[in-house]
Amino acid sequence: MESLIVQREHEGLEFSYEIIWERGFDGLSGALDRLRLPYRKICIVSDHNVAELYLKDVERALSSTGCPVSAFVFPAGEEHKNLSTVQELYRYLIENRFERKDLLVALGGGVVGDLTGFAAATYLRGIAFIQVPTTLLAQVDSSVGGKTGVDFDKYKNMVGAFYQPRLVYMNSETLKTLPCDQFASGMGEVLKTGLIRNRDFYGWIIEQQAQIELRNPETMDHLIRECCRVKAAVVEEDPKEQGVRAILNLGHTLGHAIEKLMNFQMLHGQCVAVGTVGAAYLSYRRGYLTEEEYLQIVRTNLAFRLPVSVRGLKQEDILGATKSDKKMEEGKIKFVLLKNIGEAVLDRSVTDQELLDTIAILNEEA
């Protein structure tokens, strides 16, 4: 077993927690025992696809805690990451008499993790939860760092809370069943991670493309751990996004705008990939990246089956949708640009005209 502690060093991160990498789910109840949490009941929260594949195994693994284990399962997909699903979960917890000291287990991808974390933050003003991420995206990004929440009226993650999990337990074997488009979506966040903080890692990802495509277990172990190291370091520095944490949002200003306008029918990591090309283009236009570096980012997306443009959206609609970005301050977007490959900066001076020029290269208009 290998692990990494997300350290409580700064105000805002209430406690430290461990990220554990295992094969299989057998280590789950031992990991929970070591936490010495006072729960008497466990509710696994999952979506239908993941439940079909892994719920029985996780129930079996958790039964050795000696506590009753039950499950709340909802339909898969971003369109269910909303307050109605949260309400159904609240009802389930109330009807089954879950108390503040009990435990929720988020078993699934980022949708399950974000939604369960938000319900955990708000049910009885806070009940403990752990993350058991089963997608690449969730293993490299969403299960770490405590951003929880749901979409509201198509506004992405508009309602949420910073609420850390007590444990992140990753079973890398779950990646075997992940569909190709979901794997590619996860790679959108992986590439983002290299671009913001680790040039060598970005280079390594490009070199290892064939092994990554094959999901070689050792290669994937290294890839996932490196992403978690980068993310944990940023979150430890700034748990509640008062400053530097916003670099984890590279590609998301345009990405979230596209996700919303595509009615959540394009996957999050794919939208982030297009947004990252936009951020790279702006960085090139600002004279930070060379043209070759910008083109390398485009080629790398394509190599990992990620899009570099979208079709059928109106340019002014994309610009308009960027105005509901959560990084807005005093009416100005804090845009994440690349000073270099491996070095992100926040910039409040990006103009609407610069954004429109960028959108023009990303958008094959209808």
Ligand X SMILES: O=C(O)C(=O)C[C@@H](O)[C@H](O)[C@H](O)COP(=O)(O)O
Binding site for ligand X (CB under 6 A): 141, 145, 147, 156-157, 189, 241, 245, 248-249, 252, 326
List CB contacts of 80: < 8 A, sequence separation 6 or more. 47, 74, 111, 115
Q: Using CB atoms, what's the residue nearest to ligand X?
A: 157
Catalytic-residue membership of 249 = yes
Alpha-carbon distance of 181 to 77, in angstroms, equals: 13
110 is annotated as contributing to ligand binding: yes
Catalytic-residue membership of 189 = yes
Q: Report the DSSP pairing between strands 167-171 and 155-162.
A: unpaired
Q: Are 144 and 232 in contact (CB under 8 A)?
A: yes
List the one residue from 29, 85, 116, 134 that touches ligand NAD (CB under 6 A): 134
Alpha-carbon distance of 5 to 16, in angstroms, equals: 7
| Least distance CB 60 / ligand NAD (angstroms) | 17
176 is annotated as contributing to ligand binding: yes
List the one residue from 63, 84, 177, 349 that touches ligand NAD (CB under 6 A): 177
Considering the candidates 11, 125, 291, 329, report the single residue annotated as catalytic. Answer: 125
Stretch that binds ligand NAD, among 140-148, 275-283, 311-319, 331-339 (CB under 6 A): 140-148
Q: Are 133 and 140 in contact (CB under 8 A)?
A: no
Alpha-carbon distance of 107 to 98, in angstroms, equals: 18
Alpha-carbon distance of 67 to 362, in angstroms, equals: 52
Considering the candidates 80, 81, 197, 252, report the single residue annotated as catalytic. Answer: 252
Give me 207's structure tokens.
Answer: 């070199």
List the one residue from 43, 178, 313, 337 that touches ligand NAD (CB under 6 A): 178
> Residue 77 carries which side chain, given as an amino acid letter?
G
**Cβ-count burial of 214 within 10 angstroms (0-12 exposed, 13-18 middle, 19+ buried)?**
exposed
| Least distance CB 52 / ligand NAD (angstroms) | 9
Q: Which does 111 bind (CB under 5 to 8 A by kind): ligand NAD, ligand X, none?
A: ligand NAD
Catalytic-residue membership of 222 = no
Q: For residue 101, what is the enclosing H or E element?
A: none
What character string, x for contact with ligand NAD (CB under 6 A) and - otherwise, covers 28-57? -------------------x-xx--x----
How many CB atoms sit inside 10 A of residue 216's CB?
Answer: 14
Closest CB to ligand NAD among residues 223, 289: 223
| Least distance CB 151 / ligand X (angstroms) | 9
Q: Which does 322 bind (CB under 5 to 8 A by kind): ligand NAD, ligand X, none?
A: none
Is 108 one of the binding residues for ligand NAD (CB under 6 A)? yes
How many CB atoms sit inside 10 A of residue 93's CB?
Answer: 23
Radius of gyration over alpha carbons of the chain, in Å?
A: 20
Q: Report the DSSP pairing between strands 42-47 and 103-108.
A: parallel
Contacting residues toward ligand NAD, per CB under 6 A: 47, 49-50, 53, 76-78, 81, 108-112, 114, 134-135, 137-138, 141-142, 145, 147, 157, 174, 177-178, 182, 185, 189, 268
Report, as residue numbers or ranges, the catalytic residues: 125, 147, 189, 231, 241, 245, 249, 252, 256, 268
- The annotated binding site for NAD(+) is made up of 110-114, 134-135, 147, 156, 174-177
